[in-house]
Structures are given as C-alpha cells and as structure tokens.
Amino acid sequence: MHIHRLEKIWIVVGIAMLGVFLVVVGVGAFAMGMQPPGSHHDHAHHTGAIDPEKVDETPPFDNPRLEQVGDKEYNAYMVGYAFGFSPDKMEIPVGSTVHFQITSSDVVHGFQIPGTNVNMMVVPGEVNYLSHTFTEPGEYLILCNEYCGIGHEYMATTIIVS
C-alpha cells in the first residue's frame, strides 16, 4: 500500500515521539521506582487479599495507627470507611517519609493528598500502598476522591507536617 511521502514523515515522527514517551514512562516506573501505587503488593508481608468484613480483626488494620519505624520514617496503617479515615489527624515532623497502607471496610474509596502526588484507590478486599516524603511543613488535606455515598464530600482528614 502506497503512503504519501509527507504522511510517512508525519507518522515516523509521531511514532518516534511515542517511543520517547513510552521510554520516559517505562524508565521512570521500572528504573527509578516511580511506580503507581500498589506496586509493593507482591513483596509485602501481606498477601494483598483481606476479608473486607473482618478488617477490624485483621492486623494491622485492627488497630489503625501511625507508627514510627525509623528516623523520620513512619508506617500509617489506615482504614477508609463511609465516611471517614482512621486514624483521624496525624502529625509528623517535616522531612518524614510515610508508608501509607490502606484498605476499606465497606465500599471503594479514594485517598488523595492535594499538592502531592499521593493518589490511590482504596478497594475493599485489597490493601493499597504508597510512600511519600513530606518536605514542606503545613496542614495537608487527605480526601476521598471516589464517590462512596451520600456523605462522600465529608470524607476527609488532615496530616499535619511541622
């Protein structure tokens, strides 16, 4: 099939750009560790699956908490529910890295901290993971960004970085 010379140039340049995009995304993800959330899934001590009806008796979510695990390093074991997050209000010193681990005890929720790249789905029956280092002080808003019911817009908490 004959293709016009200009169209060939156009498509080759387009495919080359596409290649560059995909290499940038791929190198970012696999070489630099900028994976989407959930990527620790296979390596974590959890199996990934959790009985959504038994969240309150399954460690570590039976005791949702912020736990210091190193110098300026924390694990946040969290549960999303209609319509809130547990634990409510967390406080950390500036420069801390927090490893968020979250599941839902009812419907699907979202977990987003505006002004950061923290954004993940909270799915019942699954545990999602994401780490973030808070380099600026402030009161960060944590909100649910997936419709979860009549009180969805009230589902939020904060994390204070001081």
Partner 1 sequence: MTNPKQSLPREVADRSGSAGRGGEPTGPSETTGDPHQGALAHAAEGHTAAKSAGTPAEHADLSAKSAGTPAEYADLSAESTGTPAKPADTLTQKAGLHMPYPPKDAAIVLSHIIFAFAALLLGGVAGLLQGLVRGGMVELPAGIGYYQLLTAHGVLMALVFTTFFIIGFLYSGIANTLGGKLLPATRRFAWFGFVLMASGTVLGTIMILLNKATVLYTFYAPMQASVLFYIALVLLVVGSWSSGFGMIYQYRYWRRKHQGQLSPLFAFMSIVTMLMWLIATIGVAATVILQFIPWSLGWVDTINVMISRTLFWYFGHPLVYFWLLPAYICWYVVIPKIIGGKIFSDALARLSFILLLLFSIPVGFHHQLMEPGISPLWKYIQVVLTFMVVIPSLMTAFSLFATFEISGREKGAKGLFGWLKYLPWKDVRFFAPFMGMLIFIPAGAGGLINASHQMNGVIHNTLWVTGHFHLTVATSVALTFFGITYWLIPVITNRVLTPAMNRLGIIQTVIWLVGMFFMSGSMHTAGLFGSPRRTAYTTYNDHPDAVLWMPYHVAMAIGGTILFVAVILMVYNIFAMMRMPKGDTPYPIGEVSDQAEPTPKLLEKWWIWIVLVVVLILFAYTIPVLEMLGQSGPGSPPWVTW
Name which of residues 73 to 112 contact partner 1 (CB under 8 A).
Answer: 82-83, 106-108, 110, 112
Helices (H) and strands (E) in the chain, counts: 1, 10
- Smaller CB distance to partner 1: residue 59 or 70? 59
Instruction: Work out how close the CB of 155 gets to partner 1 at its nearest, in angstroms, rounded to a whole number.
Output: 9
Binding-site member from 5, 42, 59, 71 for partner 1 (CB under 8 A): 42
The footprint of partner 1 on residues 16-35 (CB under 8 A) is 17-18, 21-22, 25-26, 28-30, 34-35
Pick between residue 68 and residue 160 the one whose CB is nearest to partner 1: 160
Separation in Å, CA 14 to CA 2, 27, 28, 136: 18, 20, 21, 39
Q: Measured between alpha carbons, how far is 91 from 36 in angstroms, rounded to an integer?
A: 25
Rule CB under 8 A: is residue 69 a binding residue for partner 1?
Answer: no
| For partner 1, the closer CB: 73 or 108 | 108
Residue 142 C-beta: closest distance to partner 1, Å = 10
Residue 124 sits at φ, ψ, to 5 deg, of: -65, 140
* Interaction of residue 149 with partner 1, rule CB under 8 A: yes
Nearest to 38, CA basis, from 81, 99, 79, 89: 99
**Binding footprint of partner 1, residue count (CB under 8 A):** 71
3-state helix, strand, coil in the chain (%, to 5): 20, 35, 40
Binding mask 123-142 for partner 1 (x = CB under 8 A): xxxxxxx---------x-x-
Beta bridge pairs of residue 77: 65, 101
| Residue nearer to partner 1 on the CB measure, 92 or 155 | 155
Among 66, 79, 98, 143, the residue binding partner 1 under the rule CB under 8 A is 143
